[in-house]
Structure 1
Amino acid sequence: MNGSSQVHATTPAPDDQRTVPRDYLARSLAQTQKETLSRCADHLHAATAMHAITYTGFTALKLCGIETPHCPRLRDTEFHVLYTARQQRPRRLNTRYLKLPDAFRNCSVIIFRHGETTVRCTHPLVTWAMLATFLTQTETIALLDAILRAGSRSAFPNGIPLTMGNVSAFLDNAGDFPALKRCRAAVPFIGVVTDSIMECRTLLALLRYGLPYPSVHLRVYIASLDLTVPVDMAYGNGKVIVEYDGDAHRQDQRQYRWDERKRQALRAQGCTVIVAFADDVTTASGRWALADRVADALGVTLDGWPQTPYRVLIDDDRRAEDRDRKRRERRKARAEGLA
């Protein structure tokens, strides 16, 4: 990225043992960030290229402490490296080269220091825009949510919180790039940033099948505990609550006990609390069943069709159906060729 401005960052600070239970995600990302920085330094020392290497894709996300999206096309390679010309793509083990669109030639890069080694990666918004080419619309939205969540932490590389205003300005000024339409379509889905990428996927599953946008992080008063507590998502001013429960909740015993105590108290005062797990979010049947449970609690019937502002979510299903159709046609053609 010749001529680009540079943003400096430091190695992440050690974990504070006094962190609250809900910080388990931040701790995990900080550990991944530290390990990735070390791995990139080793990767650079083994490089023979004369030009500076800039990491992008999943590698850049991990360096910046950002959750990675679901992307089967890229997940099997550890290092994602930027290139602008074919001669910058030497064959290196476990390395995938991603082309920098012309629209981002002058965008800033993030610089980390690992001892005497300088590690460079693309800015998170550039990384997002590049990865969106390989992502579904749902994962493009979920990754933007994850970037904004990381940008709200003081550990974010440039020290400046990312806002939706920054995102809109980035898209307005970037010019044309392959996934511009998909990135623009993601922006209206970001209201209040969720607590995790799986929580964001839970929200999108509700929208996909026709439910309205819930209140995110609504604060509900629990009389029996004399506390006002946040809930992941809620409808009807907190009468129907949806919470995502990942494995880390159960591994952190303090978090697990608090979650259970909170949910029992909410149910005792008349709230319906629906808990979503990974299977409810990662499969089409699970997403439909989850949305149907929420609809039943609200006393409405799902038609399986997103409301008008969220219609872009059906594009993923259409693309999946198109891929399945093409696979069937190829199998049929091969069978006829052997007959």
Structure 2
Amino acid sequence: MSQPGPTGQVSAGHASAAHPLARRRAEHLERARLYSLIASDGAFFCGRTAAVILGLPVALKPAQDLEVGRLYPARAPRARSIRGVQARPALVTLQSTAGLRTTSPSTTWAMLGRWLSLEELVVLGDAIVNDSRFGRDAPTALDAAANAPGRPRARLLREALSLVRVGSASPPETQLRLALRAARLPEPELDVDVRDASGGLLGRSELAYPESRVAIEYESDHHRVDQRQWNRDIEKYQAYAESGWRIIRVTAAMLYTNRDEMVRQVADALAVAGRPAR
């Protein structure tokens, strides 16, 4: 069950501009801005390039080709370092994003169904429905995009959409939730307020099993290097423990290279609480 880490995705723990993945995104965005100055009429950014412009999590290779589309019957752009796409008008919604013409978030997600895995599509879908910039209708827009007549890989998109959840705050949290599902463990609740016996708020956990009093905390680099955050975490975990909660702390190493151990810890905690793990 061990899984490789993300190859080009900036998560909550990699948001610093100094991080190589963040630099890769910044470079891709700058190339898109420069290309927009010479782009042909009707051209728009799509695929991974649109996702980067929209601020959505996608993997990028070094020097990733820009993805640029035009609507049929216009021909796809052809140039060095450009992957041209000819798109059917009925399958595309366009918008202006930071001064650049892009596909909408839902169209970007659906078009990437040709290239992304199920997990990557769920990560991207979670990011869209949990981003306030895209409005409350984002889930409806994803559904419409997935079910548009003639949509390539519509079955995969619909499967991904069935796994998208409101409340998932970062790609690692989505991947953690999917890993537990793949192990046939119960699906945790998201954004759970943890309270003591008198109803006082002790903290909020991104993933938890409230009935079993089990909380799962993903420990990004931010939690490790920010002293104030570290102190808050220690205080919160102590308060949880005193109120009878068990805390499973998940690191990037556990999530990406040692998922068996992570799953074992969650399963054991649920078993102790008397809840069937499978």
Distance 1:253-1:140 versus aligned 2 partners, 3 A rule: same
Aligned residue number for residue 42 of structure 1: 34
Distance 1:236-1:221 versus aligned 2 partners, 3 A rule: closer
Aligned residue number for residue 192 of structure 1: 166
Aligned residue number for residue 3 of structure 2: none
Partner Cα distance (2:167, 2:88) in 1: 28
Distance 1:91-1:236 versus aligned 2 partners, 3 A rule: same
Partner Cα distance (1:87, 1:170) in 2: 23
Distance 1:80-1:252 versus aligned 2 partners, 3 A rule: farther
Question: What is the SS of the residue equivalent to 2:130?
Answer: helix
Aligned residue number for residue 319 of structure 1: none
CA deviations 1:283-320 (Å, max 9, x no partner) are 4xx223211210011118xxxxx97xxxxxxxxxxxxx
User: Which of 96, 99, 103 is 2:83 aligned to?
Assistant: 96
Distance 1:228-1:262 versus aligned 2 partners, 3 A rule: closer
Partner Cα distance (1:255, 1:87) in 2: 52
Once the 2 structures are TM-superposed, how far is the Cα of residue 140 of structure 1 from its aligned partner? 1.2
Once the 2 structures are TM-superposed, how far is the Cα of residue 223 of structure 1 from its aligned partner? 6.3
Partner Cα distance (2:267, 2:241) in 1: 17
User: Which of 138, 143, 156 is 2:124 aligned to?
Assistant: 143
User: Which of 147, 160, 170 is 2:145 aligned to?
Assistant: 170
Partner Cα distance (1:251, 1:122) in 2: 37
Aligned residue number for residue 161 of structure 1: 136
Aligned: 1:79 with 2:66: yes
> Which amino acid is the alignment partner of residue 266 of structure 2?
V
Distance 1:244-1:24 versus aligned 2 partners, 3 A rule: closer
User: Which of 120, 124, 128 is 2:105 aligned to?
Assistant: 124
Contact 1:83 1:99 in 2 (8 A): yes
Aligned-pair Cα RMSD in Å: 3.3
CA deviations 1:229-278 (Å, max 9, x no partner) are 21111124251111111123334333332222212221232211011122
Of the structure 1 ranges 174-183 and 263-272, higher mean CA displacement relative to structure 2 is found in 263-272
> Which amino acid is the alignment partner of residue 42 of structure 2?
A
Distance 1:212-1:275 versus aligned 2 partners, 3 A rule: same
Gaps of 5+ in 1: 1-22, 301-305, 308-339
CA deviations 1:165-220 (Å, max 9, x no partner) are 33223334x11222211110122223333110111100000000110111111111
Aligned: 1:287 with 2:259: yes
TM-score, normalising length from structure 1? Answer: 0.65
TM-score, normalising length from structure 2? Answer: 0.78
Contact 1:77 1:96 in 2 (8 A): no
Once the 2 structures are TM-superposed, how far is the Cα of residue 228 of structure 1 from its aligned partner? 4.0
Of the structure 1 ranges 253-262 and 31-40, higher mean CA displacement relative to structure 2 is found in 31-40
Identity, % of aligned pairs?
A: 29
Contact 1:241 1:272 in 2 (8 A): yes
Residues matched between the structures, number: 257
Once the 2 structures are TM-superposed, how far is the Cα of residue 120 of structure 1 from its aligned partner? 0.4
Aligned residue number for residue 67 of structure 1: 57
Gaps of 5+ in 2: 1-11
Find the structure with the greater CA-based Rg.
1
Distance 1:252-1:119 versus aligned 2 partners, 3 A rule: same
Contact 1:234 1:242 in 2 (8 A): yes
Partner Cα distance (1:203, 1:75) in 2: 29
CA deviations 1:90-114 (Å, max 9, x no partner) are 2223x3334435651xx3212145x
